[in-house]
Amino acid sequence: MRSSFALRWSALLTGVLVATAVAVAGPVAAEPAPVAPAPVIPLPPELDPGFYLPPTEVVAATAPGAIIAARQVRIADFGLLPIDVDAWQVSYRSNNSRDEPIPAVATLIKPRGQAIEPRKLLSVQLAEDSTAGYCAPSYALQHLSVAPVAGQIVVPAEFLFAQAALAQGWAVVVPDHQGPNSAYAAGPLAGRITLDGIRAATSFAPLEVGPTAPVGLYGYSGGSIATGHAAELRASYAPELNIVGAAEGGVGADLGAALSMANNQLTSGLVFAAVLGLTREYPDFAAYLDQRLDPLGKGLSAIKSPLCVQYQSALLPFLNLTGMIGSDGNPLDDPPVAAMLDDTRMGKSVPDMPLFLWHSAWDEILPLAATDTLVDTYCQDPATSLTYTRDHASEHIVAEVVGGPAALLWLRDRLDGVPATPGCTISDAGTMAATPGALDFLGDTMAAKFATLFGVPLGSR
């Protein structure tokens, strides 16, 4: 729950960051939404409510995934180097974890080259891992965004994996899966926003992706939370979507296990940010913390609420997270906490598409044992098609670098219609960089990126 002090600081911080910006937000348009031109200087959500927060009555009257407004944008590497692709932002309706209507935003990106119709689509859930709107991908990916220098370095860095998909000729949708309140780690919310973002993408004609197009899901770490819940929810929430495979690594399968592992450790600052994010989606948990947090915890909540992932992680590590919560026993067992942890734990249903999971055997942020348990749960269903690799030459960050190319290769086969191996295949790898074809795939991606420096549009092959 945001304190008034935190809200004032957040507003002040974003105001300083974009004090010279020119507002371009307009009124919500009727369906079909016309495409507005790109803003001269992008605005973060805090200063752009006309686009990010359409009227509640408009949102409520819109079907989940239907577009409310659309505009062109320019995207760039780390806010500086423009990328030669076509890109748009769409505002659309989604639902929170209580099935109440909420606004959502996603970035749609199309390479300039020709593709077999319909164009294949990859939904990339980037690890926002932050608790302020200016950290969201839709802002952080834009040309002249200041988010990278304000602490959001993960989204621009991970965007290379989305560019690898664009280099294949695929379209990409990047949802702001934490929603309008930056509810970091709220998996059921993120899953719904992700699925509705795919609905919006497949209905947006300029993206050249139709409703029957094959769709893949990709997410790592904080992005795995959105990806995993979207995969589990597809059958009940968006059964019409043709999702042919989901790849998730550094899997955030059990937030309670992650919190216990982070307690008093170097990663506690990042996990505390997830605690703050979860209060924004779970009112009972928010009320519980408001009553139980000690003065240190409340002070940290106010200080950390307006920060992006870089500063969230670096500020005051080695926190005694459970010690800041007054409880007669383990606070994770108290009913409001236990209910939230149960709702966000993966494994309630088995995804009905093929799965590719990977995790570092030495992951210091998200425990390997929780992913092992999730895989065991999925594999109890004889219809499951799942490939799971434990990488033994990495930690959390390196595991995405070495495993991401293998995941994208696996997704390419699914999008090309190659059947996945039935059953569960579980293996331990010295390094996933040795996956056949992975280094060649990474080399081709880097070559395509390098060619863009000489005027070759990304994905124009």
* Residues catalogued as catalytic: 221, 363, 396
Amino acid, res. 208: E
Torsion of CA 226, 181, 141, 234, to 10 degrees: 30
- The residues with which 102 forms a beta bridge, in sequence order, are 94
**Roughly what angle, to the nearest 10 degrees, separates helices 255-262 and 268-279?**
140
Alpha carbon distance 309, 423 (integer Å): 37
Amino acid, res. 280: R
According to DSSP, the β-strands at 215-220 and 121-125 are: parallel
**Roughly what angle, to the nearest 10 degrees, separates helices 154-167 and 438-452?**
100
Alpha carbon distance 406, 420 (integer Å): 14
Alpha carbon distance 149, 457 (integer Å): 26
Q: List, as one string, the DSSP characters of 91-102.
A: EEEEE-TTS-EE
Identify whether the C-beta of residue 161 lies closer than 8 Å to the C-beta of residue 190.
no
Question: For 42, what's the count of Cα atoms within 13 Å in the CB-facing half-sphere?
Answer: 28
Closest-CA residue to 119 (of 419, 448, 415, 460): 415
- Apex 169 CA angle, 135 and 228, nearest 5: 50
Question: Could you tell me how many residues make up the chain?
Answer: 461
Unique residue bearing structure tokens 């009257």: 61
Rg of the chain on CA atoms, in Å: 21
Instruction: Give the DSSP letter of residue 360.
Output: E
Alpha carbon distance 191, 86 (integer Å): 26
Alpha carbon distance 217, 219 (integer Å): 7
